[in-house]
Structure 1
Amino acid sequence: MSRTPPSLWRAALPVLACLALTGCSSDASHTDASSSSAPGSHNSPKDTGSKGTEKRETSGKPKSAASPTHVSIPSIGVNSSLMRLGLNEDGTVQVPPAEKGMTAGWYTGGAVPGERGAAVLIGHNDTRFGRAVFHDLKKIGKGADIAIRNDRGAELHFRVTGTETVSKKAFPTKRVYGATNERVLRLITCDGSFDAQGHPVDNLIVYAARS
């Protein structure tokens, strides 16, 4: 999502050596994709204390849970299918490839939307191909509806509770990926000005709870 693929995700996960969430591309692929929890050197979601994450990354979800397939945010015109995102070999969170900039992704190492825990969706702000799926995410307001449809045909609704822009060098990993008994959703993309290399220096995080 950022003009330079690799740096966006460096801000998200501690262990991810340099990713800044959605908006740019993952350092591993050097494409314009965003890498969700990776903007800076932080710990990866599996280091935030939730046991069983590695198993979920293999299967992508608990066997009994339905997988999210689509997200819509009427207030800002988002209407996208969801691709599955895991971890790169270097431990950073994957992001959608630049050529699929208008498609958001669900991080399978987190919770399934609607289940207890933090479910994380990642999307680019823009890529070398132009504006992307979360380009207008900064316009979302508190109370806005986010609808997630799963592969069983059910539609789940979440209400935005807040947003924050953070430096990729100080990404709030625990707040975003940490364990919780609530059914919550986080959306992440790139934000802010660009550094000398043309990489966005911040991440925009949207927090939402099951309505």
Structure 2
Amino acid sequence: MRKAAGNRGTARGARAARLGDTAIAAVTLVALGSGVWLLGGGTGPHAPPQPSAAEGRPDPGGTRAGAPGLAPSPPLRIRIPAIRVNAPLVGLALTRSGSLDAPPAKEKNLAGWYEAGTTPGETGTAIVAGHVDNTEGPAVFYDLGALKRGARIEVDRRDGSVAVFTVDAVEVYSAHDFPDEKVYGAARRPELRVITCGGGYSRATGYQGNVVVFAHLTGSR
């Protein structure tokens, strides 16, 4: 995992993994949290919640039955009722350095999806990323680490359908032990990963890792 300079948050991507049908080498999610606002009050009650071991993935092989995959259609909005997320989605591309770009940090209620990969609801692994905070305070995925297994995630799609996912696990990984294939590897069913910074905060290096939500498609409407 590449670390961002100063107090910027960091996230790791896939090393020689595949996102949908697109091969990507050494992808890194960058700048998903500044942490600067934490410095005023320490990391006590202001730090974003982190998942407990009890929310770890019970189905690492993705064998649970789910809904059939939908036709490809770009996502427009993501909703996670349990943590009060209701945010528009913007397409994210790769930077020249091979990093997955981040949504504009100044727009706190905005998430992004990797638009060269799988669309949410389509068979494969779709990727959504968003900031945990910015210099002003909590951002769209600040409470992602508080999500529980079984929670619902809904994605509005351009074709008018809504892809409904059920959370399988919520895990936190350090920057030096990020499971690329587990997070970004191809899937035989429609799956979703929602990613933000997490794993504690250091004044020297910023956020220490990433919170990752694993979910699979269980319905649509």
- Number of aligned residues: 169
**Alignment counterpart, residue 156 of structure 1, candidates 144, 157, 163:** 163
Deviation at residue 187 of structure 1 after TM alignment: 0.3
CA spacing shift, 1:189–1:84, aligned 2, 3 Å = same
Deviation at residue 198 of structure 1 after TM alignment: 4.4
Q: Which moved more, 1:188-197 or 1:108-117?
A: 188-197
Matched-pair contact (CA < 8 Å) for 2:13–2:184 = no
Match of 2:176?
Answer: 169
Match of 2:32?
Answer: 23
For residues 8 and 171 of structure 1, what CA distance do their matches in structure 2 show? 12
Task: Compare relative contact order (CA 8 Å, sep 6+) and give the higher one, 1 or 2.
Answer: 2
CA RMSD of aligned residues (A): 2.1
TM-score normalised by L of structure 2: 0.71
CA spacing shift, 1:172–1:205, aligned 2, 3 Å = same
Structure 1 residue ranges without an equivalent (≥5): 26-63
Structure 2 residue ranges without an equivalent (≥5): 16-24, 35-70
Whether 2:197 is the aligned partner of 1:179: answer no
The letter of the residue matching 1:12 is: G
For residues 166 and 129 of structure 2, what CA distance do their matches in structure 1 show? 17
CA spacing shift, 1:21–1:162, aligned 2, 3 Å = farther
TM-score normalised by L of structure 1: 0.74
The letter of the residue matching 1:126 is: D
Structure richer in helix, relative to its length: 1
Matched-pair contact (CA < 8 Å) for 2:29–2:100 = no
For residues 196 and 144 of structure 1, what CA distance do their matches in structure 2 show? 33
Match of 1:131?
Answer: 138
